[in-house]
Amino acid sequence: MLNIGKLSAATGVKIPTIRYYEQIGLLPEAGRSAGNQRQYDVKSQERLAFIRHARDLGFPLDDIRELLSLSDRPDMPCGAADVIARRQLVSVRDRIARLQSLQLELERMLAQCAHGTISDCKVIEVLGNHQCCLHADHGAA
């Protein structure tokens, strides 16, 4: 059995986050020791590691909840998990495209800079007037 500090160290998940995952039901409420400390078993540690990895991959908490539910039923077909992963992949690709657009816009702003005074600064001009941007859709990133 691990207390919350050791579980945190073992999984790289901060203690307040572990408590939050318990509160929202992603992680089962821990048992308590005689001294009223939370006590976690190996299964809880594995579940928390699953949550951490899914969060690292950018999965939203609702999708993680669904994936955990699926993982609790190992005999089920994995189609539903594939759908969730595909949806996340689309989301990641969309974010990458927006970030690449932002990168190009920032590079363009800096390339146009004449290194003069602020009154002539292209960075300030473009930030002050969104119509000067090449891509108006990068604001959602």
- What share of residues in the chain are helix, strand, coil (percent, to 5)? 65, 5, 30
| Percent of the chain at pLDDT exceeding 70 | 93
124: how many CB neighbours lie within 10 A of its CB?
13
Angle between helices 4-11 and 15-23 (to 10 degrees): 100
The single residue listed with the structure tokens 């939050």 is 20
pTM: 0.77
Residues 81-112: pLDDT tens digits?
Answer: 999 999 999 999 999 999 999 899 888 888 88
Contacts of 108 (CB under 8 A, 6+ apart): 134
pLDDT at 86: 98
Tokens for 46, please give them.
């594995």
State how far the Cα of 108 lies from the Cα of 102, in Å rounded to an integer.
Answer: 10
Residues for the chain: how many in total?
141
pLDDT at 134: 67
pLDDT at residue 136 greater than cutoff 70: no
Residues 44-77: pLDDT tens digits?
Answer: 999 999 999 999 999 999 999 999 999 999 998 9
pLDDT at 141: 46
State how far the Cα of 114 lies from the Cα of 120, in Å rounded to an integer.
Answer: 8
What is the arithmetic mean of pLDDT over 17-41?
92
